[in-house]
Structure 1
Amino acid sequence: MSQLFSPITLRDVTFNNRLVVAPMCQYLAEDGNANDWHLMHLGQMSMGAGGLVFTEATHVSPEGRITPKCLGLWSDDNERTLKRVVDFCKTHGVARMGIQLAHAGRKASNRTPLNGAGPLAANDGAWQTLGPSAVAYGDWPAPRALDDAGLAMVKQQFVTATERSARIGFDTAQIHCAHGYLMHQFLSPLSNRRNDGYGGTIEGRMRFPLEVFEACRAAWPENLPLGVRVSASDWVDGGLTVDEIVEFAKALKEKGCDYVDVSSGGNDPGQKITLGPGYQVPFAERVRQEAGIPVMAVGLITDPHQAEAIVSSGKADFVAIARGAMDNPRWAWHAARALGAETEYPPQYIRCRPDSWRAAPAVMAPAAE
């Protein structure tokens, strides 16, 4: 039997398979509001790309957005428009729905990729970014270091967005602590130069992300799983290491974290990443084995047999895909066929399932009058 297509239960939520559609920024929101693009994008993913589909990074405040076109969840309008999308997915799709809650920190106030990326100019609406320390990302504008009031503000923004996520009806939520965004900035010695209790050793650097997680866990329904996405390496000498992420994962588990989504990089423009099929899987395997917590593996996982081997060998509990799902929003259907497994289809599409071709009765022509 396929382990990739076996169910797994976290708290009271059962996922029908171990395939996850990873968050993918779309840069098409208006004032943080979801629209028809998001309904189309997430709606098609919910039909057959995986057993769990995440929103793109959904930002907890306007100043926390990567770009002015990023999705948000700080207002009633944000909540209403995103609920429309999620209601559609849960009514017509077959996947569980997850949200990734994020704050970009010093990597905020950017142009969208199709507009050249990089920091916004003042006449394009640039805003003051925030960070653990006044340390810039490369040659970008330096952020303002968060003081005690700023830390309390950001924590409350995450809590409020968590409460909104629960009202919308998400099955799981994930705190974004990866890819060089604010929580990762606190974790990494490259961006966190604080000399108070929130800096220094990994115990100090993970203090604020743990406080945010703990506050969100208290605001999130007890019966629903809550996880974290991490970067297990900065891929820079002197940066964040997988050893430190293992310690972070252990502390998260003690505070009620249900899974860790293990990625890497994003916090320093000088990173040197060694790419290859499943190149981040060893990070996920170490976190799983040493922290004793369920993990998601992601990164150049493109083949169903590759994904099956990752799960069946115990390297990860879930496999997350992104570009593969964009290329083929029915990735799970085709992976199940390749592995001789079964997966769920929406009733409206059941006629395209291979076994239905053989079982379906012949279509009769109308009787002659």
Structure 2
Amino acid sequence: MKDLFTPYQIKNLELKNRVVMPPMCQYSVTKKDGIANEWHYIHYVSRAIGGAGLIIIEMTDVEPDGRITDYDLGLWSDEQIPAIKRIVDACHQHGAKVAIQIAHAGRKAEDAAVPVAPSPIPFDENSKTPRELTTEEIKAMVEKFRLATERAVKAGVDAIEIHGAHGYLIHQFQSPFTNKRTDEYGQDLTKFGKEVIQAAKSVMPSEMPLIMRVSAVEYVDNGYGLKESVAFSKVYQEAGVDMFHVSAGGEGQIAAHGRPGTHAAYQVPFAREIKEKLNVPVIAVGRLDEPALANAVIGNEEADLVAVGRGMLRNPYWTLEAAATLNKKNTVPTQYSPAFPSRS
């Protein structure tokens, strides 16, 4: 029977367990150059030492004005590759595999002088009104995603995650709430996402998995729900996505902030639905910090992997603690072994 500490493989990605550290922005770039620094190195490597099977480096953007803030990571330049490679290499030394989330914030780019979006609709009353991208600019944006993915591959990552959730640019294109275009990218709300996926796949090794993060529901009037997200996820699957990382929200701002509806495991049914309808591997995320609960999601075959966000922010060694709590065998660093029970 599968559990949180059963190994997992998808394509050539072999994980020692089912625990994922999801991407969580650190807003810690010091020179505003998008280059990872010592904070990022310690942040990610400590979770590798702490036993996570897969670490997904935070939202890393394809151009400077594609960042949420000027303190976010980027991969728009070859100069940003070495710092990512240093993190990846160190995580590998401690038995973790590493993915990276490639993204563009679109209208949610707070520090851009003029954000860009599918349509000139501000995120909220306190946000700047974005400029509508031209059709030609959209095609150029697809190329920026391709180049960022190519740089990530050069940095040695084990998988790529495309960010299509949480109200960022790809999400903005796939939502009728934010995409009011009349050109080809408005007539087919999945066109931009499909082209980004295909561009990324064109520079990835054939056996490297492509993960896509999606918001299964928007929590906003005139937005989409689970039925629609199953449908567009199917389109993305056919375009080349190997696994979905299923979250929610991004427009209505209900998700992930402790507001009504964000009880423990509240997003697991969304992951299960996409998994079952598409027959595709999924990562579940959202209030899964309790080891027994995370373990049950795997044991009940509701998801293939479980992402633990806030739990790992509080405790880099969440995975080691979970194994001890669940009485599961896990690899503990020799230096820390006196603190953990031995499991045969």
Aligned to 1:76: 78
Partner of 2:114: 128
Q: Does 1:43 align with 2:45?
A: yes
What residue identity is the alignment partner of 1:20? Answer: V
Alignment match, 1:54: 56
- CA gap of 1:49–1:300, structure 2 versus 1, over 3 A, is farther
Cα drift, residue 178 of structure 1:
0.6
Structure 1 segment 163-178 matched on structure 2, within 5 A:
163-178=150-165
The 2-side partners of 1:172 and 1:299 are apart by 21
Matches within 5 A, 1:288-367: 288-355=275-342
SS in 1 for 2:186: coil
The more displaced of 142-151 and 57-66 is 142-151
**C-alpha distance 337-234 of structure 1, shift in aligned 2 (>3 A):** same
8 Å Cα contact 1:138/1:269 also seen in 2:
no
Deviation for aligned residue 1:348: 4.5
**CA distance in 1: counterparts of 2:124 and 2:172, whole angstroms:** 13
Note the 1:39-188 alignment, pairs <5 A: 39-91=41-93, 93-110=94-111, 126-139=112-125, 140-188=127-175
Say which is worse superposed, 268-277 or 52-61, in terms of deviation.
Answer: 268-277
Supply the distance in 2 between the matched residues of 1:239 and 1:183 (Cα, whole angstroms). 14
Instruction: Out of 54-63 and 74-83, give the one that drifted further.
Output: 74-83
What is the identity, as a one-letter code, of the residue corresponding to 1:248?
A: F
> 3-state SS of the aligned residue for 1:297?
strand
Contact 1:21/1:320 (8 A) holds in 2: yes
Amino acid at match of 1:188: S
Aligned partners of 2:26 and 2:72 also within 8 Å: yes
1:239: which partner in 2? 223
Q: What's the secondary structure of 1:89's corresponding residue?
A: helix
Asked if the contact 1:172/1:226 (under 8 Å) is kept, the reply is yes
The alignment's C-alpha RMSD in Å is 1.8
Indicate if the aligned counterparts of 2:190 and 2:235 stay in contact, CA closer than 8 A. Answer: no
1:252 match: 236
Larger Rg: 1
Q: How many residues matched?
A: 338
Q: Which runs of 5+ in 1 are unaligned?
A: 111-125, 360-369
Structure 1 distance, partners of 2:64, 2:148, is 12
Aligned to 2:34: 32
- Structure-2 residue corresponding to 1:7: 7
Instruction: Return the alpha-carbon distance in structure 2 between the equivalents of residues 51 and 269 of structure 1.
Output: 30
CA distance in 1, matches of 2:253, 2:28: 25
Distance 1:351 1:96 in 2: 25
Amino acid at match of 1:42: Y
Give the secondary structure class of the aligned counterpart of 1:14. Answer: strand
Assess if the C-alpha contact under 8 Å between 2:254 and 2:260 holds in 1: no
Question: Aligned letter for 2:330?
Answer: T
Cα separation, partners in 2 of 1:206 and 1:285, compared to 1, 3 Å: same
Q: Does 1:263 align with 2:268?
A: no
- Residue 117 of structure 1 corresponds to which residue in structure 2? none
Distance, in Å, in 2 between the alignment partners of 1:290 and 1:2 is: 21
TM-score scaled to structure 1, two decimals?
0.87
Shift of 1:310: 0.8
Q: 1-side partners of 2:228 and 2:260: how far apart? A: 18
Q: 1:328 to 1:270 in 2, by over 3 A?
A: closer
Identity over the aligned pairs, expressed in percent?
Answer: 40
Partner AA of 2:114 in structure 1: Q
Separation in structure 2 between the aligned mates of residue 82 and residue 12 of structure 1, nearest angstrom? 21
| Equivalent-residue separation in structure 2 for 1:285 and 1:212 (angstroms) | 25
Quick one: which amino acid aligns to residue 46 of structure 1? A
Compute the displacement of 1:344 (Å): 2.2
1:22 aligns to 2:22 (yes or no) = yes
Task: Give the Å deviation of 1:349.
Answer: 3.9
Is the Cα–Cα contact under 8 Å of residues 19 and 54 in structure 2 kept in the other structure? Answer: yes
Contact 1:48-1:94 within 8 A present in 2 as well: no
1:122-177 deviation digits (Å, cap 9, x = unpaired):
xxxx4221101111111211111111221122111110111111111111110000
Q: Does the Cα contact within 8 Å between 1:302 and 1:321 map onto a contact in 2? A: yes
Q: Closer, same or farther in 2 for the Cα pair 1:323/1:270, shift >3 Å?
A: closer
Q: Deviations over 1:281-311 (max 9, x none)?
A: 1111110011111111111111111011111
One-letter amino acid matched to 1:33: I
Q: Deviations over 1:309-357 (max 9, x none)?
A: 111112111110111001111111111122221122345544544228x
SS in 1 for 2:6: coil
Q: Deviations over 1:46-92 (max 9, x none)?
A: 1125210111111111010100000111112211222122222222x
Unaligned runs of 5+ in 2: none
- Report deviation, 1:2: 5.1
